[in-house]
Amino acid sequence: MKIIASFYLLPLAAILFCLSIIVSSYESGPPAGSTNAPGENTCFASPACHGGTPNTGPGFAEMTIMGGIPAGNYYFPDSSYEMMPYIVDTSKLIGGFEAVARLTSGLNAGIITITEPTNTQLISGGGYDYVEQTAAGAVQPVMSNMHDWMFNWKAPSVGAGTVTFYIAFVAANGNGGPSGDNIYVDTLILYEGSVGMNDLATTSDFTIEKIYPLPAKDVVNIDFNSNKNLELNLSVLDVNGRTVIDEKQLQISSTNNTYRVNIANLTGGVYFINVHQNGKPAIQQKIIKFNR
């Protein structure tokens, strides 16, 4: 009887072993079609993937653009952008994502180029191009359990219209199984900017190169790029649009382009930094304040 029981247990053991291999292999990137785009699964719904209901974990995940998104969420045709998907989840050590850019017609939107091949990769499936993490990118060293990735996106040509990025994230415990993980999904909608908007935006004498650390505790550093001595206005808004920090006549020089914003008195949460010159478009960037 023991021999017969062991014989019948072999197929079950083999199935569980195979599922373990499948789940572990997703550390090196999920299968195409896992972004929560129309007609697609997420990391939760894909077979033998991860458990957990999307967006119920304790963390936060989204896609943003390095340097900030102009007011109105518009892009300029044929322009290139450094895209940054990221997860902040202090309960997990491993992170992954998959993203796709689509037009309203359902076609691919623009061109994705890998700029950090150690951490990200490009795959194709079903007529779409997907960007996702690699195995090294899943276990990259992070601050406060934050995973972030970078890739380049070249916007489509004039007349393409609205672009939607669909993206799914997983913050995983690394146990090799589908349980105990947190799933997040997000969309980033960008509207096509007109030539006039582009001309207006280029009148600004500065750009934001980097905001760090992300998330932040007490201080946020803003690296500006400018070849002039400037006087800027800076404000920090909460998610309800209320101004919680207002710093006017901010002095930026061509040789010292880093400014520090004290956020120690803010409660934990999501905030937006707006920087602008009088009469010129604002540049907005999201930050996350953590309390410890």
Question: For 185-206, what is each residue's pLDDT tens digit?
Answer: 999 999 988 655 544 444 467 8
Separation of alpha carbons 11 and 248, rounded Å: 70
Per-residue model confidence as pLDDT tens digits over 162-177: 999 999 999 888 776 6
For the ranges 21-30, 51-60, 92-101, the one whose mean pLDDT is highest:
92-101
Strands 80-88 and 60-65 turn out to be antiparallel
The domain 206-289 having CATH identifier 2.60.40.1220: the answer here is yes
For residue 10, what pLDDT is reported? 36
- Using the predicted structure, report yes or no on whether residue 21 has a pLDDT greater than 70: no
Give the start-to-end residue ranges of the domains of the chain.
Answer: 26-196, 206-289
Contact 159, 79 (CB under 8 A): no
For the ranges 59-63, 74-78, 117-121, the one whose mean pLDDT is highest:
117-121
Paired tokens of 129? 């191009």
Indicate left, alpha or beta for 269 from its phi (over 0: left) and psi (-120 to 50: alpha): left
Mean of per-residue pLDDT scores for the chain: 78
Where is pLDDT greater, at 220 or 209?
A: 220
Q: Which of 10, 83, 87, 81 is nearest to 43 (CA)?
A: 87
Report, in angstroms and rounded to the nearest whole number, the Rg of the chain calculated over CA atoms: 22
Shared fold status for 26-196 and 206-289 = yes
Per-residue pLDDT band at 68 (split at 50, 70, 90): low
CATH fit for domain 26-196, picks 3.40.50.300, 3.20.20.190, 3.40.640.10, 2.60.40.4060: 2.60.40.4060
